[in-house]
C-alpha cells in the first residue's frame, strides 16, 4: 500500500512539473533557441555621392540609430559562430553591420559613427587593395583609397571592428569571377589556388596586424559547392554570401554559418525605405 502511495505521489509530481510554466519555459528555451539575424552589407561611406554601394555618413548614422530604437543590438559574426556552436547566447534582437572590400572611408566616416553609438561591425578586407595602399602611400583619399595594414590593425584593436577575409587577389571578374573554379581546373588545382590566395592574406594579417580571422566573405557572393569545405579546412568558421534574406539561427546548429545571407544597403534608399522594404522592424 505504501509503495502504491509513493508511486502515485511521484506520478503526480512528474505531471505537475510537466504542466508548470517554469518547466514549459525551460523546455522551450533548451530545445528551440532561435534568433532572426539580419546582416546588413555596406561598402563605401561617402559625403560626396550616393549609389547602390555608397551610403552617406548621415544615412549610416540614421540606420544605426533606427536599429537601436527598434531594440536591435549589433554583434560580430564571431558571436553568431559561438551561438551556432552552442557556447554562447545572443541578444533577443541581434544585427550584424558588415562592410566589404576595406575602403579607407570606413576608417574616416564609419568608424567614428559606430564608436559614438557603441556599435560593432564586421569588415572584410581585399588583401591586394590594402597592400597597394600600404606600399604606394596613396592611401588617404576617401573617394578611392583602401585601408593600410596599420589602419586595419587599429580598427581591429579598437574592438569596434571584427576583420574578415575577402581574398588577397581574387576580387576580380577575370580570369575567374571571384573564387569561381576555372573550367580547365581540376578540383585539386582549384583547392590549391584558392588556399594559396586566402592564406596569403592570412599571412599578411598575422605579420602586419598580429591577428588572424575565421570569417570569410565570398567576393560578389560567388561560391562553388566545394568552397566551404576547402575554406573550413583552413580554419574558417563562417561564410558571408550576397544571398538576400534574414538568417534564422538556432543555438547548437552550425549549418547556417556556411551560407549566411546579407542584405545590401542600397544608398539610394532612405533608412526608413530600406528597413520597410526588408521587413526589419
Ligand atoms: Zn567585395
Give the model confidence (pLDDT) of 93-119 as tens digits. 999 999 999 999 999 999 999 999 999
Q: Where is 127: in which H helix or E strand?
A: helix 127-136
Give the CATH number for residue 147: 3.20.20.370
- 162 and 28 belong to one structural domain: no
Distance from the alpha carbon of residue 201 to the mean position of ligand 1, in angstroms = 15
- 28 and 52 belong to one structural domain: no
| Residue found by looking up cell 572611408 in the block | 105
- 125 and 188 belong to one structural domain: yes
Handedness of CA 62, 65, 66, 72 (dihedral sign): positive
Distance from the alpha carbon of residue 189 to the mean position of ligand 1, in angstroms = 24
- 11 and 58 belong to one structural domain: no
| pLDDT at residue 2 tops 60 | no
| pLDDT at residue 23 tops 90 | no
- 51 and 4 belong to one structural domain: no
Integer Cα distance of 208 and 197 in angstroms = 17
Q: C-alpha angle with apex 141: 104 to 129, nearest 5 degrees?
A: 50
- 130 and 16 belong to one structural domain: no
Residue 13: CB partners within 8 Å, gap ≥ 6? Answer: none
The pairing of strands 247-250 and 34-37 is antiparallel
- 250 and 266 belong to one structural domain: yes
- 66 and 16 belong to one structural domain: no
Q: How confident is the model at residue 184 (pLDDT cuts 50, 70, 90)?
A: very high
Q: Are 112 and 177 in contact (CB under 8 A)?
A: no
The pLDDT mean for the chain works out to 92
- 110 and 219 belong to one structural domain: yes
- 24 and 152 belong to one structural domain: no
Q: How confident is the model at residue 21 (pLDDT cuts 50, 70, 90)?
A: very low
> How many structural domains comprise the chain?
2
| Residue found by looking up cell 559562430 in the block | 81
- 23 and 85 belong to one structural domain: no
Distance from the alpha carbon of residue 102 to the mean position of ligand 1, in angstroms = 9
Where in the sequence is the domain holding 129, given as residue range(s)?
A: 35-277
Distance from the alpha carbon of residue 35 to the mean position of ligand 1, in angstroms = 26
Q: How confident is the model at residue 230 (pLDDT cuts 50, 70, 90)?
A: very high
Per-residue pLDDT tens over the stretch 24-70: 444 454 445 999 999 999 999 999 999 999 999 999 999 999 999 99
Integer Cα distance of 124 and 279 in angstroms = 25
Cell numbers at 122, concatenated: 564586421
Amino acid at each position: 500500500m505504501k509503495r502504491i502511495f509513493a508511486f502515485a505521489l511521484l506520478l503526480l509530481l512528474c505531471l505537475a512539473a510537466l504542466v508548470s510554466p517554469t518547466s514549459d519555459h525551460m523546455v522551450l528555451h533548451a530545445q528551440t533557441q532561435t534568433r532572426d539575424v539580419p546582416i546588413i552589407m555596406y561598402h563605401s561611406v561617402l559625403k560626396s555621392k550616393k549609389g547602390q554601394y555608397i551610403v552617406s555618413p548621415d544615412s549610416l548614422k540614421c540606420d544605426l540609430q533606427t536599429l537601436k530604437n527598434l531594440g536591435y543590438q549589433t554583434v560580430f559574426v564571431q558571436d553568431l559562430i559561438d551561438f551556432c556552436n552552442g557556447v554562447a547566447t545572443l541578444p533577443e534582437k541581434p544585427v550584424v553591420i558588415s562592410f566589404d572590400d576595406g575602403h579607407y572611408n570606413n576608417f574616416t566616416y564609419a568608424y567614428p559613427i559606430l564608436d559614438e553609438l557603441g556599435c560593432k561591425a564586421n569588415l572584410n578586407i581585399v588583401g591586394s587593395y590594402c597592400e597597394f595602399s600600404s606600399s604606394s602611400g596613396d592611401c588617404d583619399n576617401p573617394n578611392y583609397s583602401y585601408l593600410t595594414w596599420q589602419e586595419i590593425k587599429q580598427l581591429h584593436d579598437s574592438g569596434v571592428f571584427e576583420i574578415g577575409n575577402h581574398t588577397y587577389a581574387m576580387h576580380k571578374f577575370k580570369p575567374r569571377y571571384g573564387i569561381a573554379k576555372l573550367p580547365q581546373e581540376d578540383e585539386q588545382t582549384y583547392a590549391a589556388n584558392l588556399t594559396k590566395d586566402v592564406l596569403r592574406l592570412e599571412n599578411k594579417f598575422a605579420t602586419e596586424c598580429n591577428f588572424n580571422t575565421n570569417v570569410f566573405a565570398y567576393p560578389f557572393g560567388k561560391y562553388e559547392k566545394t568552397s566551404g569545405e576547402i575554406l573550413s579546412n583552413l580554419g574558417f568558421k563562417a561564410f558571408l554570401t550576397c544571398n538576400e534574406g534574414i538568417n534564422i539561427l538556432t543555438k547548437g546548429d552550425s549549418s547556417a554559418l556556411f551560407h549566411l545571407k546579407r542584405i545590401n544597403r542600397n544608398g539610394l534608399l532612405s533608412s526608413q525605405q530600406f528597413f520597410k522594404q526588408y521587413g526589419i522592424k
